[in-house]
Amino acid sequence: MTSNSVSVDQHYDLIILGTGSGNSIPGPEFDDKSIAIIEKGAFGGTCLNVGCIPTKMYVYAADLALETRESSRLGIDAQVNSVDWPGIVNRVFDQRIDLIAKGGEEYRRGDQTPNIDVYDQHARFVAPRTLQTGQGAQTKTISADQIVLAAGSRPFIPEVIAESGVHFHTNEDIMRLARQPKSIVIIGGGYIAMEFAHVFEALGTKVSIIARSELLRHLDTDLREPFNELADQRYDMHRGRNITAVSQNEQEVSVTLDDGSIVSAEVMLVATGRIPNGDELDFELGGIEATNGRVSVDEFGRSTSAQGVWALGDISSPYLLKHVANAEMRAVRHNLLNPENMKKMPHEHVPAAVFTHPQIAYVGMTEQEAREAGHDITVKVQKYGDVAYGWAMEDQSGIAKLVADKNTGKLLGAHYMGPQASTLIQQMITVMAFGLDVRDVATEQYWIHPALPEVTENALLGLDFS
């Protein structure tokens, strides 16, 4: 069989490249389709193997350790005597993550999905809707009527580090260290950097952070500024600095900054953002438009240049978030099955959370964004420490900030920093998703006293619509 003068070994109805959210596409509705799934790494993608899930398992341990260390504020004399790092690694990966990844691949290779073939080598386009996978005698060329690109993203490594020859870690291997380091230098100030900074410091590692700007600079000012102040108290901070050189000896890695100072630690973690994997797939041979590896798609998830090609998740989405990738997957799955009644990619009211300390979550506009958009707004910042459960926790830094439109009563943005922020914000996501009037939300339902959602209740009641 041939495709545009390329000899094809096998043709499929559908090829899925990547087994993160893409692996959820084939369900019973696709039993009559021949499908190829390509995954060069572990099944489950970034989230399962090196991202969301294992990091939160570490974060939970870190939260407990930090709470123990700070329990004197509650009249408790407690301490963390030791941290069994190998035991944590074993719990996270050997007992949980690796088994799930292995089971996912075995399921796709097994008798329960006989219409699916699995290819476990790197693939690249050689012609429109035609991919070559494997090397040497294992090389296979496959084509399909439809292709879904869900190949994710990878860590971005600054050139000064990449070309230094120094050994560094990323989120892809830092959690599998054989032992806990006494010190770590983290390059970056975003989600990943802040979550690992919390994990390592809470478990007893000295943490130094080098960031070119403020930490979590995308946050609303009323969260960003106090978070940075708290970070100054907890970490060895080097904010507003660029790296000029990196070196290494048998004991440590040393990072030279543009002010001449040197930051040294046992290990280095690079967390300076992520880049989509499209640049590794020879898109030009597939006729697929992309910018810096990110696939250009229309509102339905279709490639803007290649017929029969779809994309979802980090390789195409403006949101590098697992819950967004899952939502995009559901839209693409629907569109594959219902080409005459397609759904748009779901990019309204996208929330996010940072599982650092304090925990952070947000949805919608910041106050500045709402003003710049021309809204007549009302704003309330509510302290955790001013409600009863906040008293119980002796919380000193938690806040909830709500931004609403004075004319319509519609919630424009919600921003939480404090315990259970990622849970508390869910009510505000619901408010935005269903277009509820916050004046009714505040008064037309019960709020359990003295539970933590009273932070939200008081914030709603504090919005001034006069």
Catalytic residue IDs: 449
Copy the structure tokens of residue 196. 């690992």
Contact 312, 333 (CB under 8 A): no
Residue with tokens 């989120």: 171
Q: Is 76 helix (H, G, I), strand (E, B) or coil?
A: coil
Neighbours of 203 (CB within 10 A): 17
Residues 6+ apart with CB under 8 A from 163: none
Closest CA to 248 of 238, 263, 261, 236: 263
DSSP label at residue 305: S
Closest CA to 383 of 403, 395, 359, 399: 399
H/E element holding 125?
A: strand 123-127
Closest CA to 347 of 413, 291, 301: 301
Cα(398)–Cα(223) distance, integer angstroms: 9
DSSP letters of 210-276? Answer: EESS-TTTTS-HHHHHHHHHHHHHHSEEEET--EEEEEE-SS-EEEEETTS-EEEESEEEE-S-EEE
- Single-letter residue type at 288: I
Half-sphere CA count of 266, side-chain side, radius 13 A: 12
Cα(59)–Cα(357) distance, integer angstroms: 9
Residue with tokens 């609303």: 220
Contact 15, 142 (CB under 8 A): yes
Cα(7)–Cα(281) distance, integer angstroms: 19
Cα(43)–Cα(418) distance, integer angstroms: 34
Distances (CA, A) of 53 to 105, 273, 394: 18, 18, 29
Torsion sign, CA atoms 96, 99, 105, 106: negative
Enumerate helices (H) and strands (E) in the chain, giving the number of each.
Answer: 15, 25
Residues 6+ apart with CB under 8 A from 315: 18, 149, 150, 151, 152, 153, 276, 277, 278, 293, 294, 295
